[in-house]
């Protein structure tokens, strides 16, 4: 059976259920982040259904997603969570431990460090504090750090929050492979890895207009009619040959909307709260 493709509206509805579960205390912050990223990356209704199948009656699934669930058990008929979700969850849970070990090794090796090593370029320097990724300058720094680390700015997709991001980088020498990295103060921990379908679309982070990106984020609450915004994130991806970035906003009353642009800042569509 061919899997039914998910739309942006389906993903947004799933995100609302994940946020509601977090507010209710049914999932913790790490689970929220991992499930949110998995929902943003999901391409089928089965993947979305798996992300909210264990959230109980409070989850208000869209009808199309609900049909994917078994009427008896409420479990996804696929019988397993999406591979993207499992990989994302593993990355989130391991990041803290990996960072702690890295810091310990760094501290222990201070005295033995080669003092003659060349100083890093501005693009390679790890920020002392988290970048403000929803500003033009912060986004440009993120792009520069991506280029410095991977030798490319070609990605499968990216989800960018105010001070952290999840980026699925396409390997420079093999576009069939991708690594999903967590970015906070630089790229941290170890990535989850996966294989991409032949001919799958990619997107160049460097092609996004930083000024248009920052302007869209700043104007989104007013344009979309969402007051007292508590959550803002940007999704950069290529959907059906349409490279774009979308700004999503929501508040504690589950009022939400999104605004989609071409990479040079031309409006493609919007979904405003009414």
d(CA 34, CA 194): 16
What percent of the chain is modeled with pLDDT above 70?
Answer: 73
Query: Residue 170 corresponds to which tokens in the numbers above?
Result: 């396409």
d(CA 157, CA 8): 14
Strand partners, 270: 259
Candidates 243, 97, 102, 236; CA nearest to 166 is: 236
254: left (phi over 0), alpha (psi -120 to 50) or beta: left
Residues 18-54, buried b or exposed e (16+ Cβ, 10 A)?
A: bbbbbeeebbeeebbbbbbbbbbbbebbbbbbbbbbe
Q: Which residues contact 195 (CB under 8 A, 6 or more apart)?
A: 176, 177, 178
Q: Which residues contact 171 (CB under 8 A, 6 or more apart)?
A: 150, 177, 178, 179
Candidates 26, 15, 102, 126; CA nearest to 61 is: 15
Residue positions counted in the chain = 274
240: left (phi over 0), alpha (psi -120 to 50) or beta: left
Angle in degrees, CA 213, 219, 225, rounded to 5: 135
pLDDT given at position 83: 45
Domain parsing of the chain, residue ranges? 1-109, 119-274
- Burial of 237 per CB tally in 10 Å (0-12, 13-18, 19+): buried
Long-range pairs of 191-194 with CB within 8 A, sequence gap ≥ 24: 191/91, 192/87, 192/88, 192/90, 192/91, 193/87, 194/83, 194/84, 194/87
pTM, entire model? 0.60
| pLDDT per residue as tens digits for the range 189-219 | 899 899 998 888 999 999 999 999 999 999 9
| pLDDT per residue as tens digits for the range 126-180 | 667 889 999 999 999 999 999 999 999 999 999 999 999 999 999 999 999 999 9
State the pLDDT confidence band at 71, using cuts at 50, 70 and 90: very low
Residue 21 backbone phi and psi in degrees, to 5:
-65, -35
């Amino acid at each position: 059976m061919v899997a039914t493709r998910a739309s942006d509206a389906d993903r947004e509805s799933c995100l609302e259920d994940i946020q509601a579960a977090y507010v209710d205390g049914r999932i913790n912050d790490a689970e929220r982040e991992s499930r949110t990223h998995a929902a943003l990356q999901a391409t089928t209704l089965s993947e979305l259904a798996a992300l909210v199948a264990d959230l109980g009656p409070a989850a208000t699934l869209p009808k199309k997603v609900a049909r994917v669930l078994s009427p008896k058990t409420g479990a996804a008929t696929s019988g397993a969570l999406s591979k993207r979700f499992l990989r994302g969850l593993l990355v989130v849970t391991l990041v803290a431990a990996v960072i702690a070990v890295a810091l310990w090794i760094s501290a222990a090796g201070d005295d033995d460090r080669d003092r003659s090593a060349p100083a890093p370029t501005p693009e390679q320097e790890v920020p002392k504090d988290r970048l403000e990724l929803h500003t033009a300058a912060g986004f440009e720094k993120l792009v520069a750090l991506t280029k410095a680390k991977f030798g490319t700015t070609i990605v499968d997709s990216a989800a960018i929050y105010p001070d952290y991001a999840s980026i699925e980088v396409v390997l420079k020498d093999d576009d069939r492979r991708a690594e999903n990295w967590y970015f906070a103060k630089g790229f941290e921990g170890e990535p989850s890895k996966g294989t991409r379908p032949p001919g799958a679309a990619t997107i160049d982070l460097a092609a996004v207009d930083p000024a248009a990106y920052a302007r869209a984020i700043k104007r989104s609450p007013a344009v979309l009619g969402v007051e007292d915004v508590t959550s803002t994130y940007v999704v950069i991806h290529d959907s059906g040959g349409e490279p774009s970035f979308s700004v999503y906003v929501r508040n504690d009353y589950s009022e939400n909307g999104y605004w989609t642009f071409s990479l040079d800042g031309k409006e493609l569509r919007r979904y405003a709260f009414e």
